[in-house]
Amino acid sequence: MDRLLTEIGLFAPAVVFNIYFAAASIPLGFVMAVFLALGKNSTNPLISRLSRGYIYAFRGSPLFIQFFMVYSLALSFNVGVWKPLGISWFVLHPLFIGPLVLVLNTAAYTAEIFYGALRAVPRGEVEAARAYGMSRRQQFRHVIWPNLIRLAWPAYTNEVVFLFHATAIVYFALPVIGQQKDLMITAKELFERDYNAFLHFSVAALYFLAVSLVVFFLFGLVYQRLMRHLPATPGMRFAPKWIR
Amino acid sequence: MMDDVNFWLGYLTNGKHLTWYASFQFTIFAAVVGGSLAVVFGLIGATLKNSRFWPLRLIGSTYSSIVRGVPDVLFFLFFPLAFEQGVEWVMASQVCTPDTIAAQSAAWPPCKEANWFLGTPEYLILASVSLGLVYGAFATNVIHGAMRSVPRGQLEAARAYGMTARQVLWRIHIRQMWIYALPGLSNVWMLIVKATSLLSLLQIADIVLWADRLGAPNFLPAVGLVHEDWRWRYYLVLFVFYILVTLVSERAFAALMRRAGRGILVEAR
Amino acid sequence: MKKLILTAAALLALGASAQAQETVRIATEGAYAPWNFLDDAGKPAGFEIDLAAAICAKAEVTCEVITNDWDSIIPNLLAGNYDVIMAGMSITDERMETIDFTQNYFPPDPSRFIAPSGAGLDIANLEGKRVGVQGGTIQAAYAEANLAGKNTVVSFGTADQAMADLGAGNLDTILADGAYLEPVVAASGGAFELVGEDVMIGNGVGAGLRKDEAELKTKFDDALTALKKDGTLDGLIAKWFDGRGPYFTE
């Protein structure tokens, strides 16, 4: 029992990195996803094609490869672009490029969720808004967006949990700076010392599970708030789905 | 001009590149075996979840929620290691004597005789099984949902014909379930395909490892062509490869759906 | 499905029979030229692969060279996935706690700093620089202990990945084995240079074995003694390291 507690203590600094990677990429990924979803739904063929292609490419290829590719690509621009701009130390830092790749990836998955929700927004409500003489901006702000976010929220919650799980492979693909190690690297290094696979990997799994539960709880609160106008608020359960 | 073409053709077909191309077999093997196992585990999981006996139901739902609650890569690394240690532990209880245990200096295995060599084939099989286990948990949910979507009337009709519970399950329920399960299973398959990029973490010389080795800068003529860092080009090839696999898989599943959907009313789909 | 299971069984049987023949499995990294690398045919090649062949011929054992990532090379030795490590691994007291080494087959060799030519690094008082190392090496331990306070230490999976970052200007310098860096500097056409003083860490390079493999260790040690005496080892060092040596013959 003592051993377990020390072990949990050992992992505490590591989980910060996983949380950081997820927290840093969620807001930007969200915003980018909204634009991509609107782009995919756009009547302009060029914008629609580009958004469609982007979403398809980043959902259709492994995150692991995306990490390697973006890092080596960024590296090849270093001498020509980042160095002269003086942002080299920053751009190639795993704490920047990690969230960057995660944003690129999660934006594609989230955009697909938002696009699905966008198509499901009741047509009648939009038509009513138009009949009221609302501008397109007003229609989006007051009718489409509130519907969209309510429809998409449960699936988006899943996506956020998946994003958190995806932070597990960041340091398998990027260089490690000093003692900046996440849960997986910590578990792997401890395992390589004493071969206790059950202890180390279980503790790492516990951390992932615990944070996932917290995410579900917090996003559940938001969902209840989003649905507060309904007589009976539908609850959200801890049930990661196969959506991704 | 011609010389250039010949040079690049030669470079791209040297033994190192041929080994890279050959290593796609590991990826394909892992995807196919992992995918098949995922369906098997999914069927088992869904049957457990549907069971009338509550401990079995509990096992089914625990399996599907625990495995989905942790990152796939964690389970992917953990399962082969744990399985190896489990086998060695069983072997140790058979072959180890107090003398051999005393002679063992490393932390694991308990004695030298109980050691199990793991090479690429063993790791590949274990990797496929862990893919099957992880995504079997996702397939469990898909299949469970699909089994509940089969119209009650069909099952009742089968029962009315005097079929036993087993006959109803195998002849009607599972056969009618596919049409509802296919869209979800297609998603699971895409996840498995993408997860095969992790094989190199288990010391399998797969496409990702070779892309790194081939693209890494080389300074020594004795080693091969001297070139700077070319890794992003190789990763771009893999990026495109996976997108193409996704594209082909989508087509294949669409065809499968059309086939499975023959004779079924459009509203039922 | 039946066919798949049969294939699986056949593959497992293959693994078992390889074990029965008492092949000595030698693990190398395959990304550390000229020590060990993958040649154009995709097969392991280099100084240590030639040396392994010579040792195995002398000791009259069949050997098989396999590759394994550097960061898990000792754990997988201990886990019994192979019997010997020959991967440019320096003999250190810390490693001696977990594994055994044969006598060295490469003399103690200074570690060096490499930097782009003309960068004017003050190695003795290095401050605020980005120092690349390969994770899990003696240089990584040294950098962590002596340089990490004032500099950023970045660790990579392979030495080649670190070189890629140095070449792209993402690192100021790399600390690595002199015998790895010297050919790189020589072949770079003046793009890189070695800077600063030698850093003496490690006691030469030897083959790593599990501690309970006394018999195999004796075989390898005897073979190495013979190869040192008859000049084969010096010949291989001269062949792969640009005429270095001789170290082990008078």
Interface test with A, best of B27, B70, B227, B251 (most A CBs within 10 A): B70
Tokens 């672009």: give the residue.
A81
C-alpha dihedral sign at B20, B26, B32, B35:
negative
Alpha carbon B1 to chain centroid distance? Answer: 44
- The residue whose two tokens read 């001269």 is C238
Instruction: Say if residue C2's pLDDT is above 50.
Output: no
Task: Kindly give, in sequence order, each residue whose CB lies less than 8 Å from that of residue A14, ignoring residues fewer than 6 positions away.
Answer: A181, A182, A183, A185, A186, A207
**Of A68-72, B112-116, B183-187, C133-137, the least confident:** B112-116
Spatial separation of the C-alpha atoms in residues B244 and B242, rounded to whole Å: 5
Nearest Cα residue in chain A from B140: A242
Q: What is the CATH architecture assignment of B2-268?
A: Orthogonal Bundle (1.10)
What DSSP element (H or E) covers C142?
helix C138-146
Residue C8: list chain B partners with CB under 8 A. 33, 125
Alpha helices in A86-244 (DSSP H): 88-91, 94-120, 123-131, 136-139, 145-166, 170-173, 183-194, 197-226
Domain count, chain A: 1
Q: Are C233 and C86 in contact (CB under 8 A)?
A: no
pLDDT of residue A244: 55
**Containing H/E element for C133?**
strand C130-134
- Distance of CA C104 to CAs A233, C149, C162, C243, Å? 72, 33, 26, 19
Amino acid at residue number A55: I
CA–CA dist A220, C188 (Å, integer)? 58
End-to-end CA distance of chain B: 57
| Per-residue three-class SS string for A221-235 | HHHHHHCCCCCCCCC
The confidence score (pLDDT) of residue B114 equals: 77
Q: Residue A105 domain-assigned?
A: yes
Decide if A5 is inside a domain: no
Closest residue in C to A91 (Cα–Cα): C170
Residue C71 has pLDDT above 90, yes or no: no
Which band of pLDDT confidence, cut at 50, 70 and 90, is reported for residue C147?
Answer: very high
* pLDDT value at B269 more than 50: no
Say what the pLDDT of residue C163 is.
93
C40/B16 CB distance under 8 A:
yes
By a Cβ cutoff of 8 Å, what residues of chain A touch chain B? 56-57, 59-66, 68-69, 72-73, 75-76, 165-166, 168-169, 172, 184, 187-188, 191, 194-195, 197-198, 201, 204-205, 208-209, 212, 238-244
Residues 169-208 of B with CB under 8 A from C: 203, 205
Backbone phi, psi, residue A100, to 5°: -60, -50
Q: Which amino acid is at B231?
A: R
- Category of C61 on φ-ψ map: left (φ > 0), alpha (ψ -120 to 50) or beta: beta
Report chain B residues whose CB lies below 8 A from the CB of C80: 109, 112, 115-117
- CA dist B151 and B158 (Å) reads 12
B159: closest CA of chain A, how far (Å): 32
Q: Give C202's pLDDT tier (boundaries 50, 70, 90).
A: confident
- Quote the pLDDT of residue C12: 39
Partners of C193 in the β-ladder: C115
For residue A174, being part of any structural domain is answered with yes
Q: Is pLDDT above 80 for B159?
A: yes
Contact A78 C168 (CB under 8 A): yes
pLDDT in tens, A217-230: 999 999 989 988 87
pLDDT in tens, C164-177: 999 998 999 999 99
Range A30-35 average pLDDT: 97
| Domain span including residue A149 | 19-178
CA distances from A194 to A61, A198, A207, B214 (A): 35, 11, 20, 33
Residue C39 token pair = 């040649």
Please report whether residue A164 resides in a domain: yes
- Say if the Cβ atoms of B119 and C158 lie within 8 Å: no
pLDDT at B102: 75
Query: Is the residue at A222 inside a domain?
Result: no
**Which pLDDT does position C250 carry in this prediction?**
66
- CA-nearest residue of chain A to C73? A192
Q: What is the pLDDT of residue C18?
A: 41
Q: How far apart are CA B137 and CA B76, in angstroms?
A: 13
Angle between helices B231-260 and B174-195 (to 10 degrees): 180
Q: Which residues contact B174 (CB under 8 A, 6 or more apart)?
A: B43, B147
Q: Chain B: give the shortest CA distance to residue A197, in Å.
A: 6
Average pLDDT value for chain C? 86
How many Å apart are CA B118 and CA A189, to the nearest integer? 20
**For the CA atoms of A223, A227, A228, A230, what is the dihedral angle to 10 degrees?**
-150
The residue that leads in pLDDT, A5 or C249, is A5
pLDDT class for A233, splitting at 50, 70, 90? low
- Chains in contact with C, where contact means 3 or more Cβ–Cβ distances below 8 Å, are A, B
A78 interfaces chain C, CB cutoff of 8 Å: yes
Check: CB of residue C158 under 8 Å from CB of residue B216: yes
Is residue A234 predicted with pLDDT exceeding 80? no
pLDDT digits (tens, 9 = 90+) for A33-49: 999 999 999 999 999 99
Report the SS3 class of residue B127.
helix
Half-sphere exposure of C157 (CA within 13 A, CB side): 19
Q: Is residue A103 part of a domain?
A: yes
**CB-hemisphere CA count at 13 Å for A242?**
27
Exposure b/e, A56-70, CB count within 10 A at least 16 = b = bbbbbbbbbbbbbbb
pLDDT at A178 over 90: no
Q: Chain A interface, mutation test: which of B78, B190, B206, B213, most A Cβ atoms within 10 Å?
A: B78
Instruction: Judge whether B210 and B230 are in contact, CB under 8 Å.
Output: no
Query: Average pLDDT, stretch B171-195?
Result: 91
C9 and chain B in contact, CB less than 8 A: no
Q: How many residues does the structure list for chain C?
A: 250
With CA atoms as reference, the chain A residue closest to C165 would be A75
Residue C4: which of B36, B124, B218 has the nearest Cβ?
A: B36
- Asked if pLDDT for residue C1 goes beyond 50, the answer is no
* Alpha-carbon torsion angle C216, C70, B126, B70, nearest 10: 140
The pLDDT of residue C9 is 38
Domain boundaries defined on chain B: 2-268
pLDDT band with cut points at 50, 70 and 90 for residue C75: confident
* Average pLDDT of the residues in B165-185: 89
Confidence of residue A148 (pLDDT cuts 50, 70, 90): very high
Q: How far apart are CA B129 and CA B135, in angstroms?
A: 10
Q: What CATH number did the domain enclosing A108 receive?
A: 1.10.3720.10
**Residue B246 pLDDT greater than 70, yes or no:** yes
Return d(Cα C197, Cα B209) in angstroms, integer: 35
**What ipTM is given for this predicted complex?**
0.90
The residue with tokens 């077999």 is B25
- pLDDT over 90 percentage in chain C: 57
Task: Kindly state whether A76 is in contact with chain C, defined as any CB-CB distance less than 8 angstroms.
Answer: yes
Domains with residue ranges and CATH for chain C: 14-107+204-240 (3.40.190.10), 111-199 (3.40.190.10)
In which residue are the tokens 């030229």 written? Answer: C33
- Put simply, whether B17 touches A (Cβ < 8 Å) is no
Across B178-183, average pLDDT: 90
If we measure between CA atoms, which residue out of A207, A8, C219, A166 comes closest to residue B72? A166
Specify if A238 maps to a domain.
no
pLDDT digits (tens, 9 = 90+) for C36-56: 999 988 899 999 999 999 999
| Residue found under tokens 């080994």 | B19
What's the whole-number average pLDDT of chain A? 90
